[in-house]
Amino acid sequence: MTDRAFAVVRAGALTSVQDQGRSGHAHLGVPRSGALDRPASELANRLVGNHAEAAVLETTLNGCALRPRCAVTVAVTGAPCPVTVDGRPAAWGAPVRVAAGAVLEVGQVTDGVRSYVAFAGGIACEPVLGSRSTDLLSGLGPAPLTDGAVLPLGGETGTPVYADAVPWQGPPRELVLRFGPGPRTDWFTARSLHTLATAVYRVSSESNRIGLRTDGPPLERAVCGELPSEGMVLGAVQVPPDGRPVVFLADHPTTGGYPVIAVVKESGLAAAAQAAPGTPIRFVPAGRR
């Protein structure tokens, strides 16, 4: 029988298995997780003939290198990067057939932060609570990739899709995050609310899959007491003691004790996933043009 699996030659800075996440378990303390740039993940799956929910690899900045043990069709999307097979250039944003034993190299991004690698048949790790996603906060799902690891592949079920052009808007030169009011706006001064909606922040190098951290003017609280731990949602803008807002992403905690001043619209979070450290951020109230 063909060994439908691939070995990790180079794991990269942070490469993890992701699908569309494990919704519906927040009451158990389990965040949704899943691909941060969901449109890029879904596109990669479509290019190799998978269903949108199939598990893919999400790489961070410097990609990875993989050696399939069987011939398989792959596609790389998300942040553009050089792609090679056994050292020969291959297409980004298109289905590529990789022979058994050949090395697929996904290189350093030229723009953005995260690239996505889909295999025809999907990655067939054992699901946990209905998802194969790696959750960095809770530790659920497969561990982030390490050199020498071997991951199973599912059986190919669809036909690769060849596209004349692959949609890629490029990483944001300025990340615009539209938001609605959070449940604790009354814990902040009017000046802080004005600052959030007018100041320019920047993506911090401390950002990760849990939260997009920011550098910029601190937000002053009107209420300085302790807040009992309460539920948190995707896109919540939490303000820790240093006053600099944090936008919760897919691996965010489901509860927290710092006040939430705003909630970013989910439609803006894919761009947030591709915003490199130093990228300017503007928080814009949802009703403002």
Mean residue pLDDT of the chain comes to 93
User: Is residue 213 domain-resident?
Assistant: yes
Amino acid 163: pLDDT? 65
User: Is residue 159 domain-resident?
Assistant: no
| 232-261 pLDDT tens trace | 999 999 999 999 999 999 999 999 999 999
User: Is residue 256 domain-resident?
Assistant: yes
Lowest-pLDDT range, 70-74, 137-141, 167-171? 167-171
Mark whether 29 and 143 lie in a shared domain.
yes
Q: If you average pLDDT over residues 50-62, what whole number do you get?
A: 97
Amino acid 25: pLDDT? 87
Mark whether 138 and 214 lie in a shared domain.
no
Alpha carbon dihedral 1, 151, 125, 17, in 10-degree steps, equals: -150
Sheet containing 64-68, strands listed edge to edge, beginning at the edge strand earlier in sequence: 88-90, 83-85, 104-106, 64-68, 5-10, 150-152
User: Is residue 166 domain-resident?
Assistant: no
User: Is residue 167 domain-resident?
Assistant: no
Mark whether 181 and 228 lie in a shared domain.
yes
Q: How far is CA 36 from CA 49, 190, 191, in A?
A: 21, 32, 32
Mark whether 56 and 191 lie in a shared domain.
no
Mark whether 248 and 138 lie in a shared domain.
no
Query: For 11-142, where are the E strands, in sequence order?
Result: 16-18, 56-60, 64-68, 72-78, 83-85, 88-90, 96-98, 104-106, 114-119
| Res. 124: pLDDT tops 90 | yes
Q: If you average pLDDT over residues 53-57, what whole number do you get?
A: 97
| Res. 1: pLDDT tops 60 | no
Enter the tokens of residue 182. 């959070």
Amino acid 28: pLDDT? 82
Are 87 and 107 spatial neighbours (Cβ–Cβ below 8 Å)?
no
Mark whether 15 and 147 lie in a shared domain.
yes
Mark whether 143 and 218 lie in a shared domain.
no
DSSP 256-282: ESS-EEEEE-GGGHHHHHT--TT-EEE
Enter the tokens of residue 42. 């879904």
Mark whether 147 and 208 lie in a shared domain.
no
Domain boundary among 121, 152, 183: 152
| Res. 118: pLDDT tops 90 | yes
Bridge partners, residue 96, by sequence? 74
Total structural domains within the chain: 2
User: Is residue 148 domain-resident?
Assistant: yes
Mark whether 75 and 199 lie in a shared domain.
no
Q: 159 in helix, strand or coil?
A: coil
Q: If you average pLDDT over residues 13-20, what whole number do you get?
A: 97
User: Is residue 180 domain-resident?
Assistant: yes
Residues 6 or more apart in contact with residue 190 via CB below 8 angstroms: none
The helices-and-strands tally (H runs, E runs) of the chain is 3, 20
Mark whether 135 and 34 lie in a shared domain.
yes
Q: How far is CA 127 from CA 134, 158, 210, 219, 241, in A?
A: 10, 21, 21, 41, 37
| 186-213 pLDDT tens trace | 999 999 999 999 999 999 999 999 999 9
Q: What is the residue range of 226's domain?
A: 175-285
Amino acid 2: pLDDT? 61
Lowest-pLDDT range, 1-10, 91-100, 181-190, 194-203? 1-10
Mark whether 11 and 134 lie in a shared domain.
yes
Q: Which of 164, 170, 145, 128 is nearest to 66 (CA)?
A: 145
Mark whether 45 and 139 lie in a shared domain.
yes
Amino acid 170: pLDDT? 67
CATH number of the CATH domain containing 266: 2.40.100.10
User: Is residue 278 domain-resident?
Assistant: yes
